[in-house]
Amino acid sequence: MAGGWSKDGDVQQQIDDSVRDELERARRDMPRGESAHHCDECGEPIPEARRQAVPGVRLCLACQAERDAHSGPGGGVNRRGSKDSQLR
């Protein structure tokens, strides 16, 4: 059941759109190509198991964890049209 001016199914459509956008962003940011033998950031060797598990990897585990910690979550798109959601 929709509330306010929204039609039935609008809320689920917003959720589906947000999930689809986040998946597209994650796929776009995935490494591609041949994996590096040494980390682009610190120069440490990248273990063979990591190179095989993540094709196109350019960073060692420590540097990747540091980058992920600072990148924050994706998304952040406010798809709702209500005034309350825009004020938050």
Arithmetic mean of pLDDT, 68-86 = 62
Label residue 42 by pLDDT band (50, 70, 90): very high
Taking the C-alpha atoms of residue 86 and residue 80, their distance in angstroms, rounded to an integer, is 8
Taking the C-alpha atoms of residue 21 and residue 32, their distance in angstroms, rounded to an integer, is 20
Long-range contacts of 7-16 (CB under 8 A, 24+ apart): 14/79, 14/80
**Kind and range of the H or E run holding 20:** helix 10-29
pTM: 0.55
